[in-house]
Amino acid sequence: MTRSSKKSTSNLDISSKKITKTIEPFMTELPSEVLLKYATTQDLLNQFFLQRKLANLIGRALKARFGGGGGSPIYEAYEAGLLDKTARDMTIQVVDLYSDLFGLIQTSWIFIRRELDKLEKQGIAENIPESETHYFLLLLQEMQDIQFMQYVNGYEFKRISFEEKLKHLEIFFRSPNLSSSPSLTDLVKKERREVGFYFWFALDTVIKYSKKDRTLKDKLTKINNSLSKLSSSLLLTMYIERSPNSLQIKSLKTHRWDKGERFMGTSGGGWKKEPLQNFT
């Protein structure tokens, strides 16, 4: 091993120790406290604290994944009846994705920082993350905050249209070639807005530099596989739930948020008010 490779490995060890120590307490504060002012209805308040409970669970699972101990918090939550099977499996895959993302950011940090410095010099960005750990935490914060603000601003989830979107995204993540389909390009652009800057900036940077670096290419393939697997699992769950003989609880139901209140789709094509459980 060369001196430079020893230094690189040492830096990875340091950042892994930092994230192990930081991730759980950080996730317990997501969505960000500043967004609580937008929880102006009981449904939004319940959603805020439901999301915090799930973020806390993910934080504990990531801590365990990064070597910080803590057993298997997702399976413990499932055994305690806090998660159904669909939520358990999806949460595990989200943790897999986040873990792979941190590995990607660790490996490509020198290139991500280089691109961030360019934005800073152009006056486009300021107060840029000082480390890969800081970047990863900001990525998680942005994703959680954007998710909560969807409920605040109002949105609609329809099973049929979601299935179609997942089919297209699964294809894209297996072989990310935007030029292959204009409709796919529009879809991915929409996903960028829903996921946020930090996630896509990291992926775009790795795609750019992976042409010359085999390690980055391998890490990118791992991320694409994780995203494709998550899309495939969601699709399979929806197909199973749609079966008339399925005994599985329909976790992915048609619903919408309007003016801070949650409505569920009815069999007749209408909507009915269905308040969220109180998690405060």
> What confidence tens digit (pLDDT) does each residue in 85-116 have?
888 888 998 999 899 999 999 999 999 999 99
Q: Is residue 92 part of a domain?
A: yes
- Most confident listed range (69-78, 118-127, 137-146, 244-253): 137-146
Q: What is the pLDDT of residue 71?
A: 82
The answer to whether position 1 is within a domain reads no
pLDDT at residue 10 tops 70: no
Of the candidates 93, 61, 95, 55, the residue with the CA atom closest to the CA atom of residue 76: 61
**Residue 257 pLDDT grade (very low, low, confident, very high; cuts 50, 70, 90):** very high
- Is 272 within a domain? no
Above 60 in pLDDT, residue 179? Answer: no
Token readout for 217 is: 């290419």
pLDDT at 11 over 70: no
For 191, the domain range is: 12-262
* Domains contained in the chain, number: 1
- The mean pLDDT of the chain is 80
- Between 173 and 158, name the one with better pLDDT: 158
Task: Tell me what pLDDT residue 185 has.
Answer: 44
Residue 273 domain flag: no
198 domain-assigned: yes
Instruction: Check pLDDT > 70 for residue 247.
Output: no
- In this predicted structure, what is the pLDDT of residue 176? 52
Is the per-residue pLDDT at 177 higher than 50?
no
Burial class for 229, CB neighbours closer than 10 Å (0-12, 13-18, 19+):
middle
Q: What is the mean pLDDT of residues 170-185?
A: 51
In a domain, 221, yes or no: yes
The pTM of this model reads: 0.82
The pLDDT assigned to 207 comes to 84
Mean pLDDT of 190-209: 79
* Whole-number pLDDT of residue 90: 86
- The count of C-alpha atoms lying within 13 angstroms of the C-alpha of 155, restricted to the half-sphere facing its C-beta, is 13
In a domain, 97, yes or no: yes
Contacting residues for 256 by C-beta, under 8 A, at least 6 apart: 154, 155, 156, 157, 262, 263, 265, 271
Q: Assess whether pLDDT exceeds 60 at residue 166.
A: yes
d(CA 147, CA 41): 17
Mean pLDDT for 2-23 is 60
* pLDDT at site 208: 87
117 within some domain: yes
